[in-house]
Amino acid sequence: MTSLLGFYQRSGLQYVARKTGVLNMLPDNLATMERVLPKVPKKSEMKNRPTELPAIGTPLKKVAFFSGCLMDTMFLETNKATLKLLQLAGCEIVIPKSQACCGALHGHSGEKAGAKQLAKRNIEAFEAEEVDYIITNAGGCGAFLIDYDHLLQDEPEWHDRATAFKNKLKDISQILVDLRFQEKSSP
């Protein structure tokens, strides 16, 4: 999906669609959605993403960042800003390469086995990093990640690991409060 949107934006089709008024033929809600589409990053920009970022200043916590499928493409700038804010707050950041889709779409469509498989993969990926917290900007992903313990409740060997994973999930605002982060204003 994002590849098609990227093509639409970079090929000139978006420009033509907007200039010719063809978007006026769409229902209002679709035309509005097209006008507010965020810019899709190029594949080269996505491939060159860091997997580790140092704290700016004294390191206070080590956090892992769950990128999210859609967030990390359509809202890449939001993820970048969050990472920068975490660095400024004193967080060392790791972005596990082996993380996968959160499994929400699988879970919501009744593909419980697929959702469990993805949950286990993510738990393993984040356990390997030995971090204080796990952060995500992706609201839908976050809501599903926090239920991994429920998803895996019938598998004792995974339930405790899922609970430990869940307990590390924090909203960025919680981290900023915990670290007493305040933006330093320039004179």
pLDDT, one tens digit per residue, over 64-73 is 999 887 777 7
**What are 109's two structure tokens?**
């469509």
DSSP 134: E
Give the residue, 7 or 120, on which the prediction is more confident: 120
H-state helical runs in 11-111: 13-20, 28-35, 43-47, 71-74, 76-88, 104-108
Give the confidence band of 182 by pLDDT, cuts at 50, 70, 90: low
Question: Which residues of the chain are in CATH 1.20.1050.140 domains?
Answer: 45-178
Q: What is residue 8's predicted lDDT score, i.e. its pLDDT?
A: 81
Residue (of 87, 187, 74, 186) closest to 135 by Cα position: 87
pLDDT of residue 77: 85
**CATH topology for the 45-178 domain:** Glutathione S-transferase Yfyf (Class Pi); Chain A, domain 2 (1.20.1050)
Nearest partner of 144 among 97, 117, 108, judged by Cα: 108
Q: What is the pLDDT averaged over residues 85-110?
A: 94
* Res. 143 pLDDT band, cuts 50 70 90: very high
Residue 91 zone, left/alpha/beta (φ > 0; ψ -120 to 50; rest): beta
Strands 169-170 and 91-94: unpaired
Please state the pTM of the whole predicted model. Answer: 0.79
pLDDT single digits (tens) 148-174: 999 999 999 999 999 999 999 998 888
Share of the chain above pLDDT 70, in %: 95
25 pLDDT above the threshold of 80: yes
Give the chain's mean pLDDT.
Answer: 88
